[in-house]
Amino acid sequence: MTLIVQIVLGLSILVGLATIIMSSKNWHWTQLVLVLCIFFTAIGFLFLGAETVRIHQNLRKGIPGLEKNIANLERQNGELLHGAGEKPGILKLDHQLKIVARERGRVWRGVLPAGQVDQQGRVSIEIAKPSPHGLEKDSIIYAFETGEPSAADPAGGMQYLGEFRVTEVQEAGASLEPILLIDNRSGERLAASEGPWSLYETMPIDRHRLFANYTEEQLREMLPPESVEEYQRHGTEATPDDDEWHVTGLDENDERVGPENIDQAVKRLYDRSLRDYAYIFNQLAGEKVAALAKQRAATNDNAWLVKALAGAEETGKFRQQQIEALDRDMAGMKQDLAAIVSHRDAILGLLANRLEFITSYRQANSALAKQFTENQLGLVQDINRASPAPARSTFLGK
């Protein structure tokens, strides 16, 4: 097509120049110059028009392919946006992600402790991503260690570190202080942690689907031995020994029935109770504080008892010394008592002798007194017989 246009253009130029040259004998030179200008202008316009057509053809020949590509891309974009078949689209995934983010809250990964932990459990942290990190002052976060056990803390690794309040916010990090009192074990575990940490705006929620695809070996690696069975049994047929709190009923459409209609259920399945870890940790922290208070009270009571026992032992020693002294006094008193009894017996014997002597003398005195009295009476009678009778008194008129 371009070659034909060039040939036609060349022939037109030759014909035009020949015509102008042949007309030079009859035209004025000014007319000839004007015609030549018009001719060359027309040739230039024709050339530019042909070039424009060529450019348009070159540009337009890719339009159908581009339109097809645009249609394919629009279809792909529609599938990515709205999904295709069972494959969810961006809108649905974004909705699900927002639901997950709303339930889980914000999370900061790869957080590293910066500096030493003080006696109150306060610690500074560094947050590499995102920037800015978005932590706000006085916000509450939950810290988990996601690293591996270290030589300083063999029992460390993936573990819960505690609930913290953001006290200060820096450009690349923040300062945290614990909400609850830190005991020696928690403080040592926090100080030995080398990170990295994961900070959660909301305590992670327990869900059944989180453990649905784990094998028994994997569950035993993650969970305490006494909890593995209930995770394994979730969704299996319930047994008569299961209590009502771990049994859920399904109707013929595999829909849950309420507790009041559990007798009408077609299926009875074992249902693992979900755990509210924020409530459990706070409750355990309260029980821990109460236990520590009881322990401290028991320790103080024990110290007082030890002190009282030491005093009692000292008092016992003193009383023993008093008993020994009293025993010695008693031995001396027994000797004194024996001497007193012996002296008393001697005195009683002497007294008995004296009483017997006195009794004999009293009897002898009584006999002598009787004899003396009889003698005196005899003398009085002798006197009365020897003496004349007394004269009567005239004063009395007798």
C-alpha separations of 126 from 80, 109, 172, 300, 393 in Å? 37, 11, 6, 42, 157
**Residue in the block written with tokens 């002052």:** 137
DSSP 149: -
Burial class from Cβ neighbours inside 10 Å (0-12, 13-18, 19+) for residue 196 reads middle
Residues 118 and 164 in one domain: yes
Within a domain: 21: no
Q: How many domains does the chain have?
A: 2
Residues 182 and 213 in one domain: no
Show the DSSP H helices in the chain as ranges. Answer: 2-23, 29-60, 63-82, 90-104, 184-192, 216-222, 228-233, 277-386
DSSP 246: G
Residues 134 and 167 in one domain: yes
Domain boundary among 274, 309, 325: 274
Shortest CA distance to 115 belongs to which of 199, 201, 190? 190
> SS3 of 26, please?
coil
Residue 175's DSSP bridge partners are 124, 168
Residues 113 and 187 in one domain: yes
Domain boundary among 226, 258, 274: 274
Each of the 398 residues of the chain gets a pLDDT tens digit; together they read 466 766 776 777 777 777 777 776 777 778 777 877 887 788 788 778 878 887 888 888 878 888 889 999 998 888 888 888 788 888 888 888 877 777 677 889 889 888 788 878 888 889 988 888 888 889 998 988 886 655 555 555 678 888 899 999 988 889 999 888 777 777 788 888 877 888 988 888 888 888 888 888 888 888 888 888 888 888 888 888 888 788 888 887 878 878 777 777 778 888 888 888 888 888 888 888 888 889 889 999 999 999 998 988 898 888 899 898 988 888 888 898 888 988 888 888 888 888 888 888 888 888 888 888 888 888 888 787 777 665 555 444 44
By residue range, what is the domain housing residue 250? 208-274
Residue 197 in contact with residue 144, Cβ under 8 Å?
A: yes
The pLDDT value given to residue 300: 92
Residues 189 and 218 in one domain: no
The pLDDT value given to residue 396: 45
The pLDDT value given to residue 149: 57
Within a domain: 29: no
Residues 195 and 109 in one domain: yes
Within a domain: 398: no
> SS3 of 109, please?
strand
Residue 231 in contact with residue 223, Cβ under 8 Å?
A: yes
Q: How far apart are CA 186 and CA 284, in angstroms?
A: 13
Q: How far apart are CA 207 and CA 246, in angstroms?
A: 15
The pLDDT value given to residue 398: 42
Domain boundary among 200, 224, 243: 200
CATH number at residue 196: 2.40.30
